[in-house]
């Protein structure tokens, strides 16, 4: 309860920050995008990890205003990086179930994009299979509205939901993010390797981009690259970073 009342005030007190984790092309090692990851720095509690407050923000509905703030702030930030010469940089933002169902979602996104003059094609929304599959006909309409804005859609934690694959055929998905549970054991466990390879083959034949998340070692990187994976995200390249450190990394790479 204490956490909940504090969470209610966190936005107005300016206690949220966004960290950015690079997504890297496996073809040439270039940073092609960033995923916005919310952090809560509480003056007394210190850093409260997202796993501890995002479920609470979901339950209470606070995720809706918080998520709108994330969209506005991340679009404005990445737009500044575009203007500093990193013009191709993609921005990925996570959407939870509550946000996806909220009736003002499309307007919120449109406004965030417009107010920062953000190129819509450089925004990608990350949704999990369970969010997409919750109410399939309604979700399909929603996804079409989002795509009509010109933005892209990614399936997050791919392979962990208990959905059919049918939605990949009918829904306007642009990319798959291989869940890190498959990546973690890819060097040791032949089944994990087979699954990662199958997901990459599936994505490739459907002409979807495929991103491996949670890549921690050089060996994992090489295996995934060998399987034809397009991009990676993970500690092997960088942790999620505060904006100034992310910018330093971008400047280093040119």
Binding site for ligand G (CB under 6 A): 21, 36-38, 49-51, 54, 63, 67, 70, 94-96, 126, 156-157, 180, 213-216, 233-235, 240
The answer to the question of residue 94 lying near Mn ion (CB under 5 A) is yes
> Closest distance between ligand G and the C-beta of residue 85, in Å?
26
Binding residue (CB under 5 A) for Mn ion from 126, 129, 179, 231: 126
Q: How far is CA 1 from CA 48, 124, 128, 153, in A?
A: 15, 34, 28, 35
Point out which span in 20-28, 91-99, 216-224, 235-243 binds Mn ion (CB under 5 A).
91-99
Among residues 181 and 204, whose Cβ is nearest to ligand G?
181
Binding to Mn ion by residue 108, rule CB under 5 A? no
**Chain centre to alpha carbon of residue 188:** 27
Q: Mapping DSSP to helix (H, G, I), strand (E, B) and coil, where does residue 39 land?
A: strand
Q: What does 51 bind: Mn ion, Na ion, ligand G, none (CB cut-off 5 to 8 Å by kind)?
A: ligand G
**CA–CA gap between residue 179 and residue 156 (Å, rounded):** 7
- Using CA atoms, how far residue 240 sits from 34, 154, 170, 177, 196, in Å, is 9, 19, 33, 17, 23
Is position 102 an interface residue for Mn ion (rule: CB under 5 A)? no
**Would you state the structure tokens that stand for residue 24, as one six-digit string?**
């890297």
Q: What residues line the site for Mn ion (CB under 5 A)?
A: 94, 126, 156
């Amino acid at each position: 309860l204490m956490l909940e009342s504090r969470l209610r005030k966190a936005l107005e007190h300016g206690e949220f920050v966004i960290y950015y984790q690079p997504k890297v092309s496996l073809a040439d090692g270039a940073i092609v995008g960033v995923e916005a990851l919310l952090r809560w720095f509480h003056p007394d509690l210190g850093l409260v990890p997202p796993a501890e407050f995002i479920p609470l923000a979901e339950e209470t509905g606070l995720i809706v205003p918080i998520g709108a703030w994330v969209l506005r702030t991340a679009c404005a930030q990445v737009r500044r990086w575009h203007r500093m010469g990193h013009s191709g940089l993609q921005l990925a933002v996570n959407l939870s179930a509550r946000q996806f169902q909220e009736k003002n979602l499309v307007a919120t996104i449109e406004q965030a994009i417009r107010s920062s003059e953000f190129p819509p094609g450089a925004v990608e929304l990350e949704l999990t299979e369970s969010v997409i599959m919750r109410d399939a006909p309604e979700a399909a309409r929603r996804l079409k509205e989002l795509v009509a804005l010109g933005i892209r859609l990614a399936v997050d934690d791919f392979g962990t939901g208990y959905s059919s694959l049918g939605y990949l055929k009918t829904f306007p998905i642009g990319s798959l993010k291989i869940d890190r549970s498959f990546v973690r054991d890819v060097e040791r466990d032949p089944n994990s390797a087979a699954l990662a390879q199958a997901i990459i083959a599936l994505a490739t034949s459907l002409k979807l981009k495929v991103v491996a998340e949670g890549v921690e070692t050089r060996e994992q990187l090489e295996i995934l690259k060998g399987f034809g994976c397009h991009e990676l995200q993970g500690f092997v390249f960088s942790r999620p970073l505060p904006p100034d450190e992310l910018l330093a990394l971008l400047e280093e790479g040119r």
